[in-house]
Structure 1
Amino acid sequence: MEFVLLIFFPVLAAIFVPILFRKLKSIHTGWFVLIIPITLFIYYTGFIQTTMNGGHAISSLEWIPSLDISFVSYIDGLSLLFSLLITGIGALVVLYSIFYLDKTREKLNNFYVYLLMFMTAMLGIVQSDNIITLYLFWELTSISSFLLIGYWYTRDGSRFGALKSMLITVFGGLMMLGGFVLLGIMGDTYSIRELIANASNLVGQEFFILALVLVLLGAFTKSAQFPFYIWLPDAMEAPTPVSAYLHSATMVKAGLYLVARFTPVFAVSEVWIWLVTGIGLLTLFWGAFFAVKQTDLKAILAFSTVSQLGLIMSLLGASAISYHVDAGTALFKFAGFAAVFHLINHAVFKGSLFMVAGIVDHETGTRDIRKLGGLMGVMPISFTVAFIGSMSMAGLPPFGGFLSKELFLTSTLALKDFNLFNFSTWGIIFPIVAWIASVFTFIYSFYFVFKTFAGKRKKESLSVEPKEAPVGMLIAPVILAVLVVVIFFIPNVVGDTLVNPAVVAMQAGLYSHPSEVLVHVSAWHGWTPELLMTLGIIGLGSILFLTMRKWQPLYNLQPELLSLNGLYDSLMMAGEKGMNRLSRLYMTGVFRTYLIYMFVSIVVITLATLFIKDAFKVDFNSFAPLNAYGILTAVLLILSVVMILTAKTRITAVIALGGVGYSVAFFFVIYKAPDLALTQLVIETITVVLFLLAFHRLPELKRHGESKGFRLGNFIVAAGVGITMALVALSAHSQKLIPSISQFYKDTVYSEAGGGNIVNVILVDYRGFDTLFEIAVLSIAGIGVYSMIRLKLPGKGSTDESK
C-alpha cells in the first residue's frame, strides 16, 4: 500500500465517527478514535531505522498531473519527527479527552471529526513534498483549528478566539501561497526537494527576497511570532484537549517546520538569518515578559508557548549560519540540534502542563490563579506532573528542558563571534536578550506551579471541593512527565534516533549522514559560560519570584488600548463600523438602485477599456446585407420596446413583451437560423402564456419618480448600457484574434459526431457536459420549487411545531 494514503486515514475514519456516536451511546466515542493515532504512530516508528541511516522514503498519488501537482509523501528525519509528535501526542490527547469530555453532555461527534480532520492536515503539511498540496493542508489546519477553538460555539469568547485565529493564520497562509507561487516560477518546479537542489540558482533572481518574506509571513503567523502572536491567548477558549494538542505539539509547530524545511533554500540570504533569529528572540522575550502578567492558568501557558516558540525559531535562524561557515567545526551545528531537541522537549512538557491546567479547572471549577493555592495536599499527582513540567520549562536539572536550554545559550553566545552580516557588532545583543528572557521564563514557570499548588488553600474562592482527578485523566500527563525525566537521563538515545536525522534533513546539502551532526549531550560540561548564565538566571529569577507582589502591579500601568490586542480590537471595531456606514450608503433596499450601480459600473469599465486599449474598431465588410424585411422587423422591435415602457396596463405590457420576442425570432428567420427561430418562438409563447396564467397576481403598474431629472438619469443609464453593448458586439465581431470555431463545427459535425443538425450536435456532443450540468441545475431548481409548494407552514397563531 502507498503510505501517502495514510495521511488521509484520520479524515476518512472521521466519516464513521457520527455513526458510532449515535449507535453506541454507552461507549465513549474517543475509545474508537484512539485506535487511529496509535496505529499511525506504530506504523511511522518503522521508518526510524531508515532515517537514522540518512535515508528517506517517498510515496506519491497523482492529483493534477497536467499542472505537476501530486500528493507526494516524503518521509525523512524531519518529517518523521513531526509525524511521530502528531500521532504520539495525538494519541495521548485523545486518551485524555475521553475522561475530560462528558459523553452525555458534549457533542463528541463534532469534536472528534474536527480533531481527525486536523490530524490529517498536520500530517499532510509535514510530509508534503509539493508546495501546492502543502498549502492545501496548511489552510485545512486553519479551518479545522477554527472549528476546534470554536467548539463551544455558544460562548462569545470561543467564537471570538476562533475567528481571530483564522483571520490571522489565513492571512499568513495567503501570503505564503504568494511566496510558493514565486518559488515555483523561479525554480520551474513545485517540488521542495528540487527547489532545495536548485537553491543556488534561485538566490540572484529578482523575486527571491519577496518570496522569502512571504514564506516567513506564513510561518510567523502560524507559529505565533511577534506581532502575530495575539491569536494564541484567545485560542485558549478551546477545550483543554484542543489546547494540549494544537498549542504544544502540532499547529503552532507548523511554522517551525516550514522554516526548518525551507532553510536550505533561503539560508544563503542574510535577510533570512536576521529575520528568523531576530523575530524569534523578540518573541521569546515578549512572551516570557507578559506571561508573568497573566492570571489565568491557560493564559500563562499561552504566553509561555509564544515565548518557547520564539526560542526555537531563533535557534532555527542561528542554524542557518552553518551555510556560511565550516559546518563540520562551527558551533552553529548546535543551534540546529538544540532547535529540534527543544522542540521535542517543549511538546512533552507543555502538553503535560496544559493537561494539568485542564485538570485543575475540571476539579476546582476555576483557572484563575488568584483563587487557587494549597492544592498540593489534595492533588499530589497533578502537582508532581506540574512540578516536573514547570521545572523542565524553567530549564532546571534533572529535566529534559535543562539540556536543550543549555544548548540554546551555547548557540546565542556563538552568534556574537560570527563575522558576516554585522553579527560581530550586533551579535552581543542576542545572548543578553536570551538571558533576560530566560529569567522571566524561570519566573513564570515557578509562578504557574507554586501559586497554584503551594501556599494556603482559598476554600471561599472555589465553588466546589477540590479533589484529585480520576486515574484515566492522569494517565496521559503522567506519561508525558515521565518522558520529561527520561529524556534528561538518555538524551543521546533521543538525539541519535530522532534529533540527528531531523537536523540532517533540515540542513540538506551540508550533511549526508546523521553522524556528521552528532552532538553528544550531557548534563555536566564543566564551569562553562552557559552554566554561569544558568546560575544567574536561577539567582535573579528566584529573587524576582519571591518579590512578585511588589513589582507585578507594574504591568497594570500599560493601557490595554496600547497593547497589540487592543490595537487589533480597535481596528476590527473601526473596520466594522466603517463598513456598516458605507453599506448603509448604498444598501438602500431599492432593487432599481442596485441595478443602476451595476449598469453604471459596467458602462464605465467597459467603455474605458475599449478606448484605452484602442479596441473599438468596426469592419462592415462581413456584415449581412440589410433588406426591407429586416428594416420592418427592426421597426417592430423598437415599437414593442417603446410600448412596454409607456404601457399603462398590465395586458398591454405583456403583449408588447411578446412582440419583442417574436421580433427577435423573425430576425432568426430572415438570416436563415430556423432552429433558433423555432426555439425562440416556443419560449416566447410559453412565457406569454405563463404571464397570462399569473395575470391576476401581477402587481399594478406604478410610476416611480415623476421629476424630469430622475427620468433623464434613467434614460442616460439605459442608453449607456445599450450603446456599450452595441459597441462591444461590433468590436468583437470586427476583431477576431483567432479563427472562429464555427468552421470546425461545420467540418466535423457530420464526419466526427454523425449528426446532421449542427445546433443539436453542439448541445449534445461538443457541449455535452455543459448541457448535462444545465439539466442538473434545472432539476435542482424544480425540486426546490416542488419542495416549496409541498411545504406546510403553521398557520397564523398556530403553535403546532410539528407541521
Structure 2
Amino acid sequence: MAVVGTLAAASMAGLPPLVGFVAKEAVLAAFTDQPVVLAGLVAGTVLTVAYTARFVWGAFGTRPHAERTEPQPVPAAMLGPPALLAVAGLAAGVLAGPAGALLRPYAELFGPVPEHLALWHGPTLALGLSVLALAGGAALFALRGPLAPVLARVRAPVGGAQGYEWLTHRFDRLAIEVTSATQRGSLPLYLGTILLVLVVVPGGAMLAAGPWRQGVPLWDTPLQPVVGVVSAVAALLAVGARRRLTAMLLVGVTGYGTAMLFVLHGAPDLALTQFLVETATIAVFVLVLRRLPERFSARPLRRSRWARRAVGAAVGVVLAGLCLIAVGARTAPSVSRAFPELAVSEGHGRNVVNVTLVDIRAWDTMGELSVLVVTATGVASLIFQRSRTGPRPRRPRGPERPAQRGPQRPVWLRGGPTLAERRRSIVFEVVTRLLFHTIVLFSLFLLFSGHNAPGGGFSGGLVAGLALTVRYLAGGRYELAEAAPVGAGTVLGAGLAVSVGTGAFALLAGGSVLQSAKLDLWLPGVGDFYVVTSLFFDIGVYLIVVGLVLDILRSLGAEVDRHIEAAGKTERGLIVDPQGRRP
C-alpha cells in the first residue's frame, strides 16, 4: 500500500521518471514566453510538492510521539485499481516518447505542435524551473515546524468548512430563486424564454458581426413573392384566429405555400413530400381537435398577445437572417455538387434526393427511421389504456332482421353500418370504396419508381397512410380494422427489420453497411431490367411510415373513439351508445 501511494504521490508532485514529470515539463515549456503565467505555474507546483510530501509523511512515515497501530491487510480488489494506475504512471513516464507519438496526431487536429513528449529534453528552462519547484516544495516541507505557529496566528475570517457551507447554501438559494422565477409550469413562459434567448444571443451576434456584405436575390420567378405573401398573411391570420380549426387550416396554408416554393424552385420531390406531410398533419390535427374545445380560451390578454406577436416576428427575422448568413458563409465547394454523378455511378438512380436518402446518406435515414418508431411508440403509449398488440376491434353484430323483399341496400364499407346515421355519408363511402385500392397502387408506384423519378418509400408510405386515413374517416374505427387487420407495431417492426437487414446483407456480401448493388434481371415479356438493392431499404421506409400513420390513427382515432363510446360522452352534439351500436 505504501509503495502504491508513494508512486501516485510522486507522479502528482512531478518527480522523474513518472508521467507527472513529463506532463509538468510539457506545461512549463508551453508557457516559457508568458512570465506571469509561468510564475503562477511554478508557485502552484511548489505547493503541490509540499502538500504531497506532507501526505506521504503523514500517511506512511514514522513519528516518535504518535501512537502505533498494526497495519491491516488491504484486499486485492481495493488495492488492484490504484496499483494499476500507479504502475501505468511509471510506465507512461519511461515510454513518454512512444506515447507522445501516438497522441501527436490528435493534438495536431487543433494546430501545429512544435514540442514533443520525452523524459529528457536536455538542460532547458523548463527543467531548471522544475528543479526549482521541487527544491521549493522540499524547503516548505522541511520548515513545516517553524512555520506552524506563524500559520496558526494567520486565521481567515471564515474557516474552510464554514466557507464551503456558506457557498453551497448560497448556490442552493440561487437555484431556488431561479427555479421559482422560471419554472412556473407555464408553457408560454418556457417557450417565450427560449425564443427571447434565440433573438438576443444569435441575433445580437448577427448584428454585431455585420455579415451583410453581398446582395441576396429576392426571387427566381415573380410567382415566388406571391406565394410568400400568401403564406405570411396566413401565418398572421393564424395568430389572431379564435377557432382552433381555423387556425389549423391557416397553418396548413403556410405548409402548402412552402411546397409551392419547392415547386417553383425546381424541387418536385421535396414538394411532393411537403404536400403529403402537410395533408397528413392536418388529418392528425383533425383527430386531436375532437377532444379539444372549439375555440381558444380568452387568454392571453390584449397586451401580452401583442408582445407575443412581436416575439414571433423577431424570431422570424432572426432565423431568416441566420439562414442567409449560413448560405453565404460557405468558403469551400459543397459536397452536394458530387451527388448527381454519385447517384448514377454508385446509387444507380437518377433521383438524387431518393438516392441520397437510401444510399449516399443512408445512415442518417436509418437514424430518422429509429426516431419515427420511437415517436409512434410514445404517441401510442400516451393514448392506449390497454395492450396495443391485442386483437383488432370486431364489428358489432346487430339484432337479426327479418328478410326483406326486393333489392338489398348495398354495403360499400363494412364499418359504415356501425356509425350513427348522422355521422355517415354514403357519397363518402362510395368514393372511398372506388378510390382506396387505386390510392394504394399509386403509393406502390411511388415506391418502385422513386429511385429514378419523384417519389420513394417515404412519399409512398404517406400516400398509403392517407388511404388508410380516408378509410377511417369514412367508416370509423371498425372500418380501419377491416382495412388493416395487422397491428401497427408489427408493421413498424417489419419495416425496421427490412431496413436494418438490407444493411446487414450488404455487409455479409463483402461490401460496406448499406452499400447498394445493381442486379441485372430478365423476365419474359418484359426483357432486361435491373433492380437496385437500396429498393429493399426503401421498402423498409415505406412500411415504417405506413406503420406510423396506422399507429396514429389507432391511437388518436380508433382508441379515442373507444374512450368516447365507453364513457358515453357527447361528440359533436350526438350521443354515442356505450355498446358501440347506433342510437
TM-score range, shorter chain: 0.3 to 0.5
Larger Rg: 2
* TM-score computed with the length of structure 2 as normaliser: 0.46
Structure with a larger share of its residues in helix: 1
Q: What is the TM-score of this pair, normalised by structure 1?
A: 0.35
